[in-house]
Amino acid sequence: MISEIKSVWLMVMFDLPVVSIEEKRQYTRFRKYLLREGFLQLQFSVYAKFCASRENAQKYLNHLKEAVPPGGKVRLLMITDKQFGDMVSLYGKRIEEVEKKPEQLLLF
């Protein structure tokens, strides 16, 4: 079983310019890159990925540094699975359950 303390969620929060056609393409490319890498969309510009360890998350963090479009503002945050599980999600007046870590890690 994966420890809730050792496993982390890598959160990506970003603002990208989307004024020109090229900026819109870069935004779309970055968003599709996150989805291809297995990130879940939590909000419009907030994505998260479950990682079994900090070392694993660091690898994704290093790859993300290369994928950021020019002019983009991106913040990355690692939080433990326990902290992520303690998050409260409000949708209007409803409280909904937080996303769960995957039942099984995907190996490529």
The domains of the chain are located at 8-96
Residue found under tokens 């209007």: 92
Find out whether 10 and 49 touch, Cβ atoms under 8 Å: yes
Name the amino acid, one letter, at 19: V
Q: Is the pLDDT of residue 108 over 50?
A: no
pLDDT digits (tens, 9 = 90+) for 71-106: 999 999 999 999 999 998 888 877 777 777 777 655
Architecture in CATH for domain 8-96: 2-Layer Sandwich (3.30)
| Residue 1 pLDDT class (50, 70, 90 cuts) | low
pTM: 0.83
